[in-house]
Every structure is written in C-alpha cells, then in structure tokens.
Amino acid sequence: MKLKSLLLASAAIALAGVTVANAADIPDPDDYQVEASADKSGSSVDVCDVAGVGFFYIPGTKTCLKIGGAVETTVGYASIGDGNVYKDAYAKVEARMDIDTKTQSDIGDIGSKFRLSVNHPFLNGVNNTGDDFGLELAYLTVGPAYVGFKDTLFNTQVAYGDTFDIENYLGGHLNTLTAGVMVDNIGGGFYAGGAVEGTDRGQWVSAFHDAKDVDFVGRAGIAGQSWGASDLSVWYSDRGDFWTLKSTTDIDVLDGTQGRVTLAYFDVGNDDAALVGVGAKHAFTEKVSGFAGLGYLFSDTLDNPYMANAGVVYTPTEGFDVTGEFGYGDLGGTKNYNTSVKFSKSF
C-alpha cells in the first residue's frame, strides 16, 4: 500500500474519530473554569485542572498547556555470546521535552503533543549506534482520534523492567506516521481502538520519506479494576506478511504486590512462535520496590530462547528514580547479559 493510500486511510480514521467524539459525552465549556493559584512571587497562575494534572492556561487564550520531560543517565556492562561477540562497559544520556496542549470545542478536546529527544552515548554499548537528536512525537488529537507521528498502539511490555520491552528488540523506537482512534471511556473501565501505522519506523524523516507499506494495529482491554487490568493487542503488517496477537494481564495479588502474565503468538512468513512471560513486582517501602521476570519463546527455528531479569527501584523523592537491573538470556544459542543502573528525573 502506497503513501497516498495511507494518507487516505488516515483521513478516514480521523473523520471516524470525530464522529465518535460527537456521540460521546463532551465536556461543557463551563468546565474549563480558571482556577488562580498564587506562586511565591505573588503573581497568579491560571490552573486548568479539567485538562489534567500540570496544565495551565496560556495567558489570553482558552488553550491549556503542559510542559514536561525527563533526563536519564544509564551506566552498565553488557556481554553477548559469552563475551565472544561483544563485551564492554557503556554509558549514555537521554533527554526528552514534552509540550502538550488542549482546547475544548464543540467536537471534543482538540490537542497536540510533540517531544524533542536527545540520546548521547558516552561509551559504546550494545544498543548504542551514535548520537541521536530528533522529533520523537508530533501529533494532533480530536476527541479520541489522532493523526501524526506517534508511538505504536501495540502494547510492547512483557514483564517489568527494560529487559522485557519488545520495543528494545525492534530498534528502540516504533514511532511512525499513523492515524487512529482510541476510546478510553467506553464504560466500566473498558477501552478500545485501532490504527493504521507506517511500516518504516524510527526516525522522523525516514518514516515520511520511505513509507510504502502499512501496518494495522488494534487494541482493547479493561483497566482500573479491583483485581487489576487486562490488555489485548493485534498487529498485522503488509510487509513480510507478519502478524501477532498478544495479551497482557496484571493481577493485584496482595497489598503492594502485583503479578503479570503475558501470552503472545507470532507468525512471520513461514515461522510460527509463541511467547510466555511472567513477572512480579513488590513495594517493600514507600521508596523501595523490586521486580523480577522470566520469558520463554517456543520457536521452530530458535534453540530454546529465554530471558530473565531482576531489579530494584529507589525513589527518594517524587519524580526521581534510581533503577538497578540485571538481565540474562539465551537467544537461540547466543548467551547474553546486561547489568545497568539508571538515574531518571522526570518533570
């Protein structure tokens, strides 16, 4: 499917999203009331709570603005193939800045978001390919519909921690030109959506320049339940006749303890595979928590691949995390491990 077809499909999905927005409960304009809060200098800030935490009014407008981001520094040591392929220490820094806007209208909230990101490796690492600066997100929303450059609708998480994020094994970024609808207020905690996504993913420029085929992604689930949450994702790609179905269920076992079970089936050409993943995390105190996980892939072409991980998260204050993680696995006869410590400050 060519880019022209993708753009036509994008327009159709966006139009469908606007229709859904009109049919849903639309906030009354009176809900966007200005709440003034004085800062330490004595001036006032017009808070826009109805748009979400952290939003405030742009002076002289009815548009709500939120500025956020994060800075992460990671140091670690990795080995692939018992050190025969790769063995080295590494360090890297990533910085992100997000700008969100929301404006209430008769067809629902109209929003925008874009993210600038910088990745810089100080020492070579297994996943470091050099400096990277670019626009990671840039999309518009109208009610539940969205269009632009965005992350995939597919749920890439398997267990807890960075080791078990499928995105890390698919180049690190699944962002691409996309159009879709995600309705998260169906009722009873249910949500559902679908999207058309460009097959070429990653960098902003290449995603627009080389987009020839498309992927179709669907997602549905239930969240906010007393027992936990469950999510189902499906992904079909025009390129390579690839499709996968994945379910992820989080269960609140005990107070402060949560378990996760992930099941997935992959069909890539003539190769079928099934993934089983389990994980658990526990809050030992208000500031210290731990997690662990195990994943196994049943495959006809790979020799008993598996991955395991364990980690500890220390949160001395809100928005600042120190995460230590160890991951080990055998991916089809190639043994590897990775030990890392990540310092993350979000705002």
pLDDT digits (tens, 9 = 90+) for 268-290: 777 788 999 999 999 999 999 99
Q: What b/e sequence results for 243-266 when a residue is b if at least 16 CB atoms lie within 10 Å of its CB, and e otherwise?
A: ebebbbbbeeeeeeebbbebebeb
Range from 72-81, 137-146, 207-216 carrying the lowest mean pLDDT: 207-216
pLDDT given at position 83: 54
Question: What value does the CA radius of gyration of the chain take, rounded to a whole number of Å?
Answer: 22
* Backbone torsion region of residue 4, taken as left when φ is above 0, otherwise alpha when ψ lies between -120 and 50, otherwise beta: alpha
Greatest pairwise CA separation for the chain in angstroms: 68
| 346 vs 39: which has the higher pLDDT | 346
Three-state secondary structure call for residue 66: strand
Residues 326 and 91: their CA atoms lie apart, in Å, by 15
Q: Does residue 264 surpass a pLDDT of 70?
A: yes
The residue to which tokens 């267990």 are assigned? 159
Residues 109 and 209: their CA atoms lie apart, in Å, by 31
What phi and psi, each to the nearest 5 degrees, are found at residue 53? Answer: -65, 135
Q: Closest Cα to residue 283, out of 254, 319, 308? A: 254
pLDDT given at position 288: 98
Q: What is the pLDDT of residues 281-318, one digit of tens each?
A: 999 999 999 999 999 988 877 777 889 999 999 999 99
pLDDT given at position 252: 95
Range from 121-130, 180-189, 212-221 carrying the lowest mean pLDDT: 121-130
Q: Closest Cα to residue 312, out of 283, 338, 278, 286? A: 283
Domain ranges of the chain: 3-346
pTM: 0.77
Q: What is the CATH number of domain 3-346?
A: 2.40.160.10
pLDDT band at 221 (very low <50, low <70, confident <90, very high): very high
What is the mean predicted confidence (pLDDT) over 103-125?
82
| 335 vs 172: which has the higher pLDDT | 335
Q: Does residue 21 surpass a pLDDT of 60?
A: no
